[in-house]
């Protein structure tokens, strides 16, 4: 029996509502066994980003009899019986996407400030990659941002509370996924690269949201789209998207040399989920086009590109026998890599607009997670340095 754990994010969820779930799926019988409300991060009421922002459950990772599950600003670790063993947080680490649990800590992508961080089990930063210091590399991507300020790495800015920083300065590379290569290198996904023009338009959108005009803009575009018979684009009702973003996948050698492995110049939404297969090859999901990119991580040579969905493509796991499981909106797609086709699909939920975030197989020696993680662990009410403050009311 193959049991899958799937984390999701529920876009537009108001601060008082559940914003993400942990699903338990028996992929052999196609049954959704459980839908478990996630552990919510604090400060969600200050987040004006309706598309996702601070909502939802994020990366899932397993190592040595423990399983780690992240939300926007903390990482909870559980034993095989789903007892909480530790919970990690740090003022510098926020906008968490993918995580990797290891013997001495957890690697986490911190998209809020363009960092890839390693936390020890006390929440201290023991290693990091700051890509904004790679000026030559960023110039080749036509990226004009400068290096991070010292305050972004010192903890003087608490990125877990979005009112403490602005996106004019941060989240310009949207580091959202990473994977270690067989030769000791590292692949890092720059999911959505924000240059000055795109940054200005995003700030304009945030301003329109603040003054409550954005809904009117969307309503007008929705009516115009129906009138003109134009098909809806992914995650937007806009008839014309005024600017395209970029996505890139970087390769860092064991010696620290960085190079661009893959790049995409028409990204309307962030690209996601780089994954190393057991045979040493790799997968990257070009979310904008719903494509599975199969490539060689040694040299970036693309082996195949396969369009699999019009939904939001994110999350990948390997099941064996050339079978992958992918997240597409609220559907699991079972993709045969040799045949380049989807061979099965499991629908998780009818909630809109919910989207899969991460997928992991649950080892047979782990129990199923409890019906309500938050009730078992407690509600996170805030942070005090590297400590998580719980309340049970």
| Domain ranges within the chain, ordered by starting residue | 3-391
Mean pLDDT by 10 residues, the chain (393 residues): 95 89 96 95 81 90 97 97 96 96 97 94 94 78 73 88 78 90 91 70 67 76 76 63 79 82 87 95 96 95 96 95 96 97 96 93 96 88 94 71
Question: Quick check: 282 and 222 in contact, CB under 8 A?
Answer: no
Nearest to 59 by CA among 14, 8, 24, 117: 8
State residue 247 phi and psi, 5-degree precision.
-125, 150
**138 contacts: CB under 8 Å, gap ≥ 6:** 131, 132, 144, 145
Q: What is the pLDDT of residue 50?
A: 64
Residue 70: CB atoms within 10 Å: 29
Q: What is the pLDDT of residue 330?
A: 96
Nearest to 63 by CA among 38, 40, 90, 85: 85
Q: In sequence order, what E strands does 139-215 have?
A: 175-180, 186-193
Q: What is the pLDDT of residue 376?
A: 84
* Three-class DSSP category at 323: strand
Q: What is the pLDDT of residue 231?
A: 72
Question: Quick check: 96 and 58 in contact, CB under 8 A?
Answer: yes
Q: What is the pLDDT of residue 353?
A: 86
Q: What is the pLDDT of residue 234?
A: 61
DSSP 46: G
Question: Quick check: 124 and 90 in contact, CB under 8 A?
Answer: yes
CATH code at 3-391: 2.120.10.30
Output the DSSP codes for 263-314. EEEEESS--EEEEE-TTS-EEEEEGGGTEEEEE-TTT--EEEEEE--SS-EE
Peptide bond preceding 201 in cis form (omega within 30 of 0): no
Pull the structure tokens for residue 8: 């999701």
Helix (H) or strand (E) holding 75: strand 75-78
* Three-class DSSP category at 357: strand
Is 172 exposed, middle or buried, given 0-12, 13-18 or 19+ CB atoms closer than 10 A?
A: buried
Burial 135-155 (b: 16+ CB within 10 A, else e): eebbeebebebeebeeebbee
Rg (CA), the chain: 20
Pull the structure tokens for residue 213: 């005009």
**52 contacts: CB under 8 Å, gap ≥ 6:** 9, 11
Question: Quick check: 393 and 49 in contact, CB under 8 A?
Answer: no
């Amino acid at each position: 029996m193959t049991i899958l754990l799937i984390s999701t994010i529920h876009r537009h969820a108001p601060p008082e509502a559940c914003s993400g779930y942990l699903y338990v799926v028996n992929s052999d019988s196609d049954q959704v066994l459980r839908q478990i409300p996630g552990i919510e991060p604090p400060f969600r009421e200050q987040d004006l980003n309706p598309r996702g922002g601070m909502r939802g459950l994020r990366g899932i990772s397993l190592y040595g009899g423990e399983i780690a599950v992240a939300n926007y600003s903390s990482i909870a670790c559980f034993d095989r019986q789903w007892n909480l063993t530790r919970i990690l947080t740090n003022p510098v680490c926020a906008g968490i996407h993918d995580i990797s649990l290891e013997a001495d800590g957890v690697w986490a992508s911190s998209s809020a400030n363009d960092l890839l961080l390693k936390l020890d089990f006390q929440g201290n930063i023991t290693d990091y990659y700051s890509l904004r210091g790679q000026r030559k590399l960023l110039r080749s991507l036509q990226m004009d941002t400068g290096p991070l300020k010292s305050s972004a790495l010192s903890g003087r800015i608490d990125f877990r509370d979005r009112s403490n920083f602005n996106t004019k300065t941060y989240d310009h590379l949207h580091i959202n996924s990473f994977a270690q290569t067989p030769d000791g290198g590292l692949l890092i996904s720059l999911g959505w690269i924000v240059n000055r023009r795109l940054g200005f338009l995003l700030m304009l959108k945030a301003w329109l949201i603040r003054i409550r005009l954005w809904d009117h803009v969307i309503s007008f575009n929705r009516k115009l789209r129906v009138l003109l018979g134009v098909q809806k684009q992914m995650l937007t009702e806009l008839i014309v998207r005024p600017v395209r973003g970029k996505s890139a996948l970087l390769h860092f050698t064991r010696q620290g040399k960085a190079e661009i492995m893959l790049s995409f110049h028409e990204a309307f939404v962030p690209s996601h989920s780089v994954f190393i297969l057991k045979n040493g090859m790799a997968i990257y999901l070009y979310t904008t086009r719903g494509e599975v990119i199969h490539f060689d991580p040694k040299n970036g040579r693309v082996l195949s590109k396969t369009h699999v969905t019009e939904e939001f493509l994110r999350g990948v796991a390997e099941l064996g026998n050339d079978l992958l499981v992918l997240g597409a909106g609220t559907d699991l797609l079972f993709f045969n890599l040799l045949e380049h086709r989807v061979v099965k699909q499991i629908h998780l939920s009818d909630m809109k607009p919910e989207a899969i975030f991460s997928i992991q197989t649950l080892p047979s020696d782990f129990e199923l997670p409890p019906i309500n993680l938050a009730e078992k662990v407690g509600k996170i009410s805030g942070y005090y340095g590297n400590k998580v403050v719980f309340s049970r009311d």
